Structure 1
Amino acid sequence: MYKFFKSIVLIKAVLLCCIFQPLHSQSFENYAWEIIESNGEPVKRHEAAFVEAKGKFYLLGGRRIQPVSIFNPKTNTWTNGAEPPIEIHHFQGVSYQGKVYAVGAHTGKYPHETPLTEAYVYNPKKDAWSKGFSMPEGRARASTTASVYKDKLYIAGGILDGHWDGHVTWFDCYNFKTGEWEVLPDAPRARDHAVSVVSNDKLYMLGGRRSSGKIKKVMHLTVPEVDVFDFKTGTWSTLEMPVPNQRAGCTAIAIGNKILFTGGETMSQKQAHDQVDCFDTETETWSSLPALKQGRHGTQLIWHKKKLYIASGCAERGGSSELTSIECFHKL
């Protein structure tokens, strides 16, 4: 009988390892980027969101008012959805319960874009846009980061006046269940055009800059430090190791205990960045992964069925050379 129960315990242990191992030790060995030959193409854009909801990918917002571009990864097909009611750009899109949210976004033209005082919501099921909740009173800004953790939306940083001035360290939390905002401790440093991800009960804030048209340094003041908010302790800290390649207009995604950080723009080169830097949250070390086929900025990453996707954005710093391509990082 003892041997029987011992065997059962061992079997359960093996099953648990099989279930949880991929989440924490995702390996990218033998992975490579490939430009996908798709049916149709998206509306080219940048400073936009690229978000998965219920198995489909939604490329939405960006400069100008234009329809949502919808990608079906099962058929590699693009179709178009509804246009937003106003121009929405410079936001990190998130999905929650099947809807896509644009929070902390700009509208209007460079360099004095205006922060939107409300969130905008795209409902894929109805192919319709609507106004969502208001931004926290007196704390509207744009080009913030945005991440969802346990039914709450966390936005950090941002800028008050387009690409001109007014960088903030603000950190706020919106509770989807109660519809209320909470002001949280300020981040260690101000930044816009940054990105945040959540991994192992911590929020990581990476990249970005302080866009300062007022002193003629719109793209110069990139931020190397990685700031980390611990949800369990409610405190911020800063990693000892900064990002290997500073840039803004970047994107990142957490996959198990790994954070992949890519894309972006800087004054150091005309072309958008193609480097893919990988941070291990357990060892707190950086490594390099294969570069994107096409450097790009102003878009996002999607992890879907153990494949990583990125689409559209700009091939050069600024707003020129908008792309329609989509590429995938997958195992060979």
Structure 2
Amino acid sequence: MSRFAMKLHASEEMEAGSCLRLGGESPEPQLCKQGSQGRDSLAVTVDGRVFVVDKALLTSHCEYFRALYQSGMRECLQTELHLRGLGAAGFVAMLGVLNGERPALGANELVEAIECAAFLQVRALAGYLVDLIDSDNCLLMCHTAFTYGVRELSHRAALFIRDMRSDLREDLWSLPPELVEYIDSLVPCTYMAVCSHAPSSELLQDFQRTVCYLDEDTRDWRVLTHLPKEASTTMAGVAVLDNKLYIVGGVHDVSKKVMDSGFCYSPVTNTWSTVPSPKQPRYNFTLIGHEGCLYAVGGEYNRKAISSVEKFRASHGTWSFASHLPCPAASVASAKAMSRIFVCLWKAKGATDIHEYVPQEDRWVLVTTLVRQQSYGLCMVAHRDNLYVMRNGPCDDFLLCVMDRYNLTSGQWSAVAGQYGNSKGSLFTAAVRGDSVFTLNRTVTTEYTIEDSRWKTKRDMKGFGRIGSIYTFLLRIPKDAVQLKGSSMADRPDQRYGLLVKDPSSVAHCLNDR
């Protein structure tokens, strides 16, 4: 029996209909203080352990306690409560998350934490569990969350499984048939690429101005859609948010005049729409999509690096300024790990600072500094709780790509075994899907698998035969868009794919967009 199946069978024995009760006696409770006893504290007994907690903390984050203390029932006046049917480990995990901690959870703790998130209706805990989804626990998380009705967590775990279905196929038998059917109904992530292009005209249309996807069945690149003629991907910000591709900024030509508007592509409706540009004109900047917002980070204007950062709230369609970078910087390397935003800022003498942006506090926090001899180029990607920083090798071996790993949990740096030459794909345009990393250059597209501290080549596919800078990302292309998938990159299209619409609100929302 596989490691996934053993825990899944254990979770099947859990009673999804367990009820929580107030009052009553708890046999020989063990005091486990989580705070000081006071007027606003509450003694909560869970599985024989007593937790002294802040009542305001529970009522502000737990729908169950909020409803309880607004009900007018006599329990509202009690300073001691007994919760039956919950595990103490799940309650401890909940308290840790509510206090701003990031607890590591084993399989048993995950099950109890999901149960706690379900019955106490703790959205913050469910959100944290989403960040913990990986190939070791995704089946357990999906099944347990499905059992207890934590829909968002179950859905996100199902999407992760769908992306890694070929690697997990031997373990899917341990899931209920209806859950496997749901997973198979979802749309997997597809590796995408677009080159840097200047705007075109009706008279001089550039048929190379395409957004392409990797057809992994044929191991070849194909055209998904053409860029609007007004769009520029030269020195633009490119990012995906809610399964929509955003292209913001960019320049017209060598004069570096900044574009007046940006563009958004929805693969669900195969349409382009326009979006406003940031308030500060900028190019050569980094665009990051995160929790309903785009962040335009740094860049250049009038050939000078800038430190300003702007946030675009997609639901409002407006830009606003955020906290500036610690220093002016252009073409900033960035990555998202555990739903956290990280950027690399170069310093003198071979040092690179990694800063985290905390949206809730609108501030940048220095996380760590990497000191390595380096020549040119920098990229950062994330896998689980690791950040991988890639750069060219020492000046005497320019073509080698050297990698270091920073573990967010332990706070430790380590050199990743092996050096990757540019002939095996440019690691400066990498994208992570599950346990795989996709890289490309003009001659080869390489899929690596991440195993412990190594990246091992999984397979090679056709390269992306275009010149210029390349942006890569992941999108979920709906199954009903299969008619778009017949055009090879080498084909001259008879028509321009993708309709340009001016009103972004007319673009439909994708059910499987996360």
TM-score (norm 2): 0.46
- Relative to structure 1, the CA distance from residue 24 to residue 277 in structure 2 (aligned partners, 3 Å threshold; closer, same or farther) is farther
- Relative to structure 1, the CA distance from residue 87 to residue 133 in structure 2 (aligned partners, 3 Å threshold; closer, same or farther) is closer
Residue type at the aligned position of 1:237? V
Partner of 1:275: 402
Partner of 2:372: 244
- Relative to structure 1, the CA distance from residue 205 to residue 247 in structure 2 (aligned partners, 3 Å threshold; closer, same or farther) is farther
Residue type at the aligned position of 1:98? N
The answer as to whether partners of 2:132 and 2:384 remain within 8 angstroms in 1 is: yes
SS of the equivalent of 1:274 reads strand
The answer as to whether partners of 2:236 and 2:285 remain within 8 angstroms in 1 is: yes
SS of the equivalent of 1:115 reads coil
| Residue 325 (structure 1) aligned with residue 441 (structure 2) | no
Q: Compute the displacement of 1:248 (Å).
A: 5.8
What is the alpha-carbon distance in structure 1 between the residues aligned to residue 89 and residue 356 of structure 2?
Answer: 38
| Residue 154 (structure 1) aligned with residue 247 (structure 2) | no
Counterparts of 1:1-332 in structure 2 under 5 Å?
9=87, 14=107, 17=110, 23=132, 54-63=188-197, 66=208, 67-84=210-227, 85=229, 86-109=231-254, 112-125=255-268, 127=270, 130-137=272-279, 139-161=280-302, 165-200=303-338, 202-207=340-345, 224-242=352-370, 244=372, 246=374, 249-263=377-391, 268=395, 271-272=398-399, 274-289=401-416, 290-294=418-422, 300-312=429-441, 323-330=442-449, 331=451
Q: Which has the higher contact order (CA 8 A, sep 6+)?
A: 1
- Relative to structure 1, the CA distance from residue 125 to residue 235 in structure 2 (aligned partners, 3 Å threshold; closer, same or farther) is closer
What is the alpha-carbon distance in structure 1 between the residues aligned to residue 393 and residue 194 of structure 2?
Answer: 20
Residue type at the aligned position of 1:146? L
The answer as to whether partners of 2:131 and 2:339 remain within 8 angstroms in 1 is: no
| Aligned residues: CA RMSD | 3.8
Matched residue count: 276
What is the alpha-carbon distance in structure 2 between the residues aligned to residue 69 and residue 99 of structure 1?
Answer: 14
Query: 5+ unaligned residues in a row in structure 2: which ranges?
Result: 1-13, 16-46, 48-84, 91-105, 115-128, 137-186, 199-205, 457-514
What is the alpha-carbon distance in structure 2 between the residues aligned to residue 9 and residue 57 of structure 1?
Answer: 41
Of 221-230 and 148-157, the range deviating more from structure 2? 221-230
Q: Compute the displacement of 1:168 (Å).
A: 0.3
Partner of 1:48: none
Query: 5+ unaligned residues in a row in structure 1: which ranges?
Result: 28-52, 210-219, 313-322
Larger of the two Rg values belongs to structure: 2
Residue type at the aligned position of 1:14? A
Q: Deviations over 1:110-169 (max 9, x none)?
A: xx43333322223334555x35311222x02011112222111112110114xxx31100
The answer as to whether partners of 1:193 and 1:249 remain within 8 angstroms in 2 is: no
The answer as to whether partners of 1:207 and 1:222 remain within 8 angstroms in 2 is: no
Q: Compute the displacement of 1:243 (Å).
A: 5.5
Q: Compute the displacement of 1:241 (Å).
A: 1.8
SS of the equivalent of 2:107 reads helix
The answer as to whether partners of 1:88 and 1:107 remain within 8 angstroms in 2 is: no
Residue type at the aligned position of 1:184? A
TM-score (norm 1): 0.68
The answer as to whether partners of 1:301 and 1:308 remain within 8 angstroms in 2 is: yes
The answer as to whether partners of 2:351 and 2:369 remain within 8 angstroms in 1 is: no
What is the alpha-carbon distance in structure 2 between the residues aligned to residue 273 and residue 104 of structure 1?
Answer: 32
